[in-house]
Each structure stands twice: as structure tokens, then as C-alpha cells.
Homo-oligomer: A and B are copies of this chain.
């Protein structure tokens, strides 16, 4: 089963990369852009037929490795 994981900085944690993108965009003449935040996106395949069990495993993987919960949130999607 395919899974998609989004890892984003917690709100309240400064995101210099997002800020830099915002500045660069406005420098390029793109107006009206705000609140840019940059995160990570991970796609993977997991050999697990049961969606709930897959989600459970992915949650474990996020907490143990993929996200640093001091500064990051994560969101998991599974698509059979």
C-alpha cells in the first residue's frame, strides 16, 4: 500500500526557508504571496494490506525517525 507523509514545522517555530521563498517570490515580482511554509514530503510503499495497521506502523516510524516532534508535526495518508 502507498503512503504519503507530510512533515511540517510546528506553528510558532520560525521557518527561515519559508521566509526566504516568500522574499524571493516577491523579488521576482509575484505579489500577494504570504504565509509560506516549507516542509518535507515522503512517499513510500508499505507491505501491509490493512489500512489501520499500516497507519499504526507509519505513526510509529514518524515518531521514531521521520519527524522531530520537538519542532515538527506530521500527517499520514494511506492509499490502497
Residue in B24, B41, B64 whose beta carbon sits within 8 Å of that of A40 in the complex: B41
Contact with B along A34-75 (1 / 0, CB 8 A): 111111111111111000000001001100111000000000
A40: B residues at CB distance < 8 A: 38-41
Number of copies: 2
Kindly name the residue among A28, A38, A64 whose own CB sees the greatest number of chain B CB atoms within 10 A: A38
* Chain A: interface size category: 20 to 34
How far, in whole Å, are A36 and B7 apart by their CA atoms in the complex?
15
Which residue of chain B lies nearest to A22 when distances are taken between CB atoms in the complex? B44
**Contact B45 A33, beta carbon cutoff 8 Å:** yes
Chain B: minimal CB distance from A58 (Å): 9
